[in-house]
Amino acid sequence: MTAMVEEAVRTLSYREAINEALRLEMRRDPTVILMGEDVTGASHSEDESHLDAWGGVLGVTKGLVHEFGRQRVRDTPITESGFVGAGVGAAATGLRPVVELMFIGFMGVCLDQIVNQAAKMRYMFGGKARIPLVIRTMIGAGFRAAAQHSDSIYSTFVHFPGLKVVAPATPADAKGLLAAAIRDDDPVIFCEHKLLYDMKGPVPEGEYVIPLGQAEIKREGGDVTIVAISRMVLHALEAAERLAQQGISAEVVDLRTLSPLDETTVLESIRKTGRLVVVDEDNPRCSVATDIATLAATQALEFLNAPVKLVTPPHTPVPFSPTLEDAYIPSPERIVAAARATLG
Amino acid sequence: MEISRDKLLWAYERMRLIREFEDRLHTDFAAGKIPGFVHLYAGEEAVATGLCAHLRDDDFITSTHRGHGHCIAKGVDLREMMAEIYGKATGACKGKGGSMHIADVNKGMLGANGIVGGGPPLACGAGLTAKLKGTDQVTVCFFGDGASNQGTTFEGLNLAGIWKLPVVFVCENNGYAETTSPQYSVSGQDIAARARGFGMPSIAIDGLDFFAVYEAAGEAIARARRGEGPTFIEAQTYRYYGHFEGDSIRYRTREEEEHYRSLDCLYRFRQTAIAQGLLTEAELDEIDARARAAIDDAVRFAAESPMPDPAELLTDVYVEYPMAALWPFQEAAVPVHR
C-alpha cells in the first residue's frame, strides 16, 4: 500500500498543481470554461507565435489554450464587473465557469456581481438557481507589489452568506481543493497565494479531490494550537520547528477552507492543547482570525489555559518598501513569541 | 412585420394581465395588504410584451426592480408571483425574494434585480452559455434609463459586442430614474446613440406602441438567433405610478401624466387591432374579463396561502453547507434541519 502511494506521488509546484486541476476538470466536463484578463493573452493576434503570450499574469493557466482553444480559455477585457458578472450569468444558465480575478484587491470593481448577484441568487430565488462558479484570485503580501496588489482580504467574502471560500497552502491541497471547488454547485472564491506559486511539494497524479470544509492538522503537537491560513501555514510550521527545539510541542491546524469553517478540528485541537494562537495575513479586524477567537471564546473557554493570541498584520494597507513590507507580514518569530506567551 | 392572430391575442392578454396585476397591487398596497416595496410597470406593458412575443421558453431575460411586467410577459405563473409579493410560502421564490427578486429560471426568467445595472453582465453570461453550447437561444436584457449610466451596462455592451453574444439590450426609458429625468442625468441626451459606439445596431422607438416594439424586437432577436450579435433598443415609454408605491410623485406635472395616459399602449393596441380588422371588440373585451378573473384568482391564492415556516430561514442559502454553521457561535433561533 505504501509503495503504491509513493509511486503515485510526484512533485509539482503550486502553480503546476493548479494548472493540472484546471486541465483535468476541463477534460472531465465540457461545461467548465476559464476566463479572465490575459488567461492566455494576445487574443487580438492571428500570429501563432503570440498564442498563449502570458497564460495568466504569473503563468498559472499557461498551455491550457493549446488543448481547449480560445472559446473555453477566454481572454476578457479589463472589465471585472462585466466578466465576473458574465461568469455568474453563465453559471446560472448551465456552464461551470472558472473566472480569474487577477488580484483579490480588484474585488472593489466587481463586488456587486459577487455579493449581490452570485451569493444571493439562490436564496432570493427560493433555491431555484444553482451558481457553480469559481473565482480564482491572488492574495498575499511579500511581492513588493504595494497596497492594491497585495491584499489577503478573503474574510470579506467569508462575511457573505452564499459564498464558499478556500485558501490552500500546499500544491497538493491546491489541486484537490480546486477540483472540489469546480465540481461544487455553489460559488467558491479560491484564493491563491502568489508567493507560493513556485513552492514544490508532492501532488497525487490523476483525479484528486479534497472535500471543502475540512481543515488539516499539518503538524501534531500537544502544548499549543496554531491555527493558520494559506502562506501563514508555512510560517506556523517554521515556528513549530523552532518551538520544538525549545521543548514546546505545537500543533499546526491549516484551515484550508474558510467558509464553511471546520469548527470541529479547531475545537478538538484547542481541547487537547488548551492554548491557541491564530495566524492570519488578512487585516486584523472582523477577520477569520477573530472568528477563530470567537469560536474558542464561545465554545472552548473552559479548555483554555491562557488568553488567545492573534498574529496578524497591522491595521494598515500593505506597504511597498521592502523593510516596511517585511515588518508587516506575520513572521515565524512573532508566532514563536505568541506561542511562548500562551505558555506563561 | 407580419403578426399572427394567435400572437395578437396572446400579446393583448399579456398586456392586460400586466395592467390588471399592477393596478390591483396599487390598490392593495394603498390598503396596507402588501409588505415591503413594490415598483409598478403599468404604462410600459408594450415593451415587455413586444419583446417576449418573439421569445421561446428556453430563451432568457434579465430584469429590473420594476420586473412584474417582464415576468408576466415571459410566462411566470401569476399565482406564484402574487404569492411571492405577499411573502407567502407558495411564492415563486418561497417568499424569500419578494417583488424585487421574482425569478423563474426554468422559464428563462433570471430574476428581477434590486441593483440598477445588475443585469447586463448576467445577460452576457446567459448569452455566453448559448454561444458555447451552440444553441440559438437569445437573451433579452431589460434595464432603465437610470441603468443606462451604470458602468456595468457599458461593460456588458462591450463584452456582448466583442464576443458577438446573442443578447438584445432593451433600455426602457420611462422618463425618470427615481425622481430624476435623463435630461439631467444622461450626458449627450441620446441613450441609443451610446450603444452605437460599441459597434452594434441601435434604435430608439416609441415604446408605447406595441407594433413598433414588436417589429424592432423581431429584427433584433432574429439577428441574435442567427449569431450576428447584439442589438440595442431604446424604448421610450412612461410609468403611470411613482418610482415605488407610496411615492408622492412631486417631480412631474399632472398634465404630463395625462398626455401619456392619452397614448396608453393598451388603448392604442385596441384601436389599431379593431380598425385594421385584426381582432374584434368582443374578443378584446373577453380578454379583459379573463384577465380580471385571473388576477382575482391570483390575489385569492396569495391571500389564502400560508406564511413560510420559520425553519425556511436557513434553507436555500447554499446547495450544500453544514446547516449549524448558518447561525454560528450561538444557539439558532429557529429549528435547524440537518
- B128 vs A91: CB contact, 8 Å cut-off? no
pLDDT at B289: 98
- A186 vs B111: CB contact, 8 Å cut-off? no
Cβ contacts of B92 on chain A, cutoff 8 Å: 126, 128
Average pLDDT over every residue of B59-66: 98
Residue A315 exposure: Cα atoms within 13 Å on the Cβ side: 4
pLDDT at B337: 75
Average pLDDT over every residue of B160-164: 98
Q: Which of A97, A117, A128 is opposite residue B93, by nearest beta carbon?
A: A128
- Among B109, B128, B142, B167, the residue to mutate for chain A (most A Cβ within 10 A): B128
Average pLDDT over every residue of A281-300: 98
C-alpha cell at A13: 509546484
Residues, chain B, total?
A: 338
Residue A262 predicted with pLDDT over 90? yes
CB B205 within 8 A of CB B281: no
CB A341 within 8 A of CB A307: no
Query: Which residues of A have a catalytic role annotated?
Result: 149
Residue A6 predicted with pLDDT over 70? no
Give the closest-approach CA distance of A73 to chain B in angstroms. Answer: 11
Closest residue in chain B to residue A91, using alpha carbons only:
B125
Q: What is the pLDDT of residues A147-204, one digit of tens each?
A: 999 999 999 999 999 999 999 999 999 999 999 999 999 999 999 999 999 999 999 9
* Domains along the sequence of chain B with CATH: 5-307 (3.40.50.970)
Phi, psi of B157 (to 5 degrees): -60, -40
C-alpha cell at B134: 451552440
Q: What is the DSSP letter of B244?
A: S
- Among B101, B143, B318, the residue to mutate for chain A (most A Cβ within 10 A): B318
Q: Which of A72, A125, A185 is opposite residue B320, by nearest beta carbon?
A: A185
CB B315 within 8 A of CB A123: no
Average pLDDT over every residue of B78-91: 98
pLDDT classification of A9: cutoffs 50, 70, 90: confident
Give the closest-approach CA distance of B66 to chain A in angstroms. Answer: 16
Average pLDDT over every residue of A328-341: 98
Pairing of strands A257-259, A164-166: antiparallel
User: How many CB atoms are located within 10 Å of the residue B320 CB?
Assistant: 11
Mean pLDDT of chain B: 97
Cβ contacts of A294 on chain B, cutoff 8 Å: 329
Closest residue in chain A to residue B114, using alpha carbons only:
A116
Give the closest-approach CA distance of B186 to chain A in angstroms. Answer: 21
- B159 vs A129: CB contact, 8 Å cut-off? no
Q: Which of A127, A161, A294 is opposite residue B315, by nearest beta carbon?
A: A127
* Domains along the sequence of chain A with CATH: 2-204 (3.40.50.970), 216-342 (3.40.50.920)
Closest residue in chain B to residue A263, using alpha carbons only:
B325
pLDDT classification of B338: cutoffs 50, 70, 90: low
pLDDT classification of A2: cutoffs 50, 70, 90: very low
Closest residue in chain A to residue B128, using alpha carbons only:
A90
Residue B268 predicted with pLDDT over 90? yes
CA nearest A35: which of A68, A2, A1? A68
Cβ contacts of A301 on chain B, cutoff 8 Å: none
Mean pLDDT of chain A: 96
pLDDT at A1: 38
How many residue pairs bridge chain A and chain B with CB atoms within 8 Å of each other?
Answer: 172
Give the closest-approach CA distance of A186 to chain B in angstroms. Answer: 6
Q: Alpha-carbon distance A155 to A177, whole Å?
A: 18
Q: Which of B92, B128, B330 is opposite residue A126, by nearest beta carbon?
A: B92
Pairing of strands A200-204, A9-13: antiparallel
CA nearest B117: which of A162, A85, A87? A85
Helix, strand, coil fractions of chain B, as percent rounded to 5: 50, 10, 45
- ipTM of this complex prediction, to 2 decimal places: 0.96
pLDDT classification of B1: cutoffs 50, 70, 90: confident
